[in-house]
A = this chain, B = another copy of it.
């Protein structure tokens, strides 16, 4: 892109001043532009991390995106905050378990084949698992859910392992001892994204125990995201799923 602009200056098609603006735009607004392009091409909605943001703040950003017909995904929105936002922007749909606001302003143009697996250890991990699942679905990816299959009853997992294996990538969510990704990682041959959760008490130290377990996994092909980061787990999975769906080489 730098080259193109320089060539245009060389040819007299662009003044130095305009080139500087254009480059600045590329550096700053340009990134947003690329994002818009990406959205239209790939059906990827923009994402707003809702935690710690004022409702008014979220509404303003959303309106700017609505003006460009972008799909909008807002994560970590508690019920009360969601209700305020919904009063102003009723086009949002809200999922109270996943704590996600979603607004579809255009049809997605891509249609992915295959699916990703979302596996979680216990029912208490559901909010994180659903944050992951809804995120992936917002990006147009099919999700298959395998919930409450923790390692203390390994047969529950084994009963579903064939279907899990056929996914492109698996997101494994677990709190407490966080051992599930190791077991899944040993049973599948695709990448596993491990998401520790803060579920537990005492020596779980708000997810530290599960996080360490996952980082120390003796199974290969496992990588880890932050505690309770269901969105991040899904985003990584979607990126890989997209690679599986395109001839990107």
Interface residues of A (CB under 8 A from B): 2-3, 6-7, 9-10, 12, 15-16, 19-20, 23-24, 26-28, 30-31, 38, 47, 51-53, 57, 113-114, 121-124, 150-156, 158-159, 168-169, 176-179, 182-183, 185-187, 189-191, 193, 196, 198-229, 231-232, 235-236, 239-240, 243-245, 248-249
* Closest beta carbon of chain B to A208's beta carbon, Å: 7
Which chain B positions have C-beta within 8 A of A191? 236, 239-240, 243
Q: Is the CB of A223 within 8 A of B224?
A: yes
Question: What CA separation (Å) do A47 and B226 show in the bound complex?
Answer: 28
* Closest beta carbon of chain B to A232's beta carbon, Å: 7
Q: Is the CB of B202 within 8 A of A27?
A: no
Which chain B positions have C-beta within 8 A of A193? 223
In the complex, the 3 A-B pairs of residues with the closest C-beta atoms, listed nearest first = A202-B227, A179-B179, A223-B223
Which chain B positions have C-beta within 8 A of A248? 114, 168, 244
Q: Is the CB of A150 within 8 A of B218?
A: yes
Q: Is the CB of A198 within 8 A of B202?
A: yes
Q: Is the CB of A16 within 8 A of B20?
A: no
Which chain B positions have C-beta within 8 A of A114? 248-249
* Closest beta carbon of chain B to A72's beta carbon, Å: 15
* Closest beta carbon of chain B to A147's beta carbon, Å: 13
* Closest beta carbon of chain B to A128's beta carbon, Å: 10
Which chain B positions have C-beta within 8 A of A168? 243, 248-249
Which chain B positions have C-beta within 8 A of A26? 155
Which chain B positions have C-beta within 8 A of A57? 123
* Closest beta carbon of chain B to A122's beta carbon, Å: 7
Q: Is the CB of A212 within 8 A of B221?
A: no
Which chain B positions have C-beta within 8 A of A243? 168-169, 190-191, 240, 243-244
* Closest beta carbon of chain B to A21's beta carbon, Å: 10
Which chain B positions have C-beta within 8 A of A211? 202-203, 215
Known: A239-B191, A243-B168, A245-B249. A203 touches B216 (CB 8 A): yes
* Closest beta carbon of chain B to A217's beta carbon, Å: 5
Q: Is the CB of A182 within 8 A of B10?
A: no
Q: Is the CB of B151 within 8 A of A220?
A: no
Question: What CA separation (Å) do A226 and B200 show in the bound complex?
Answer: 10
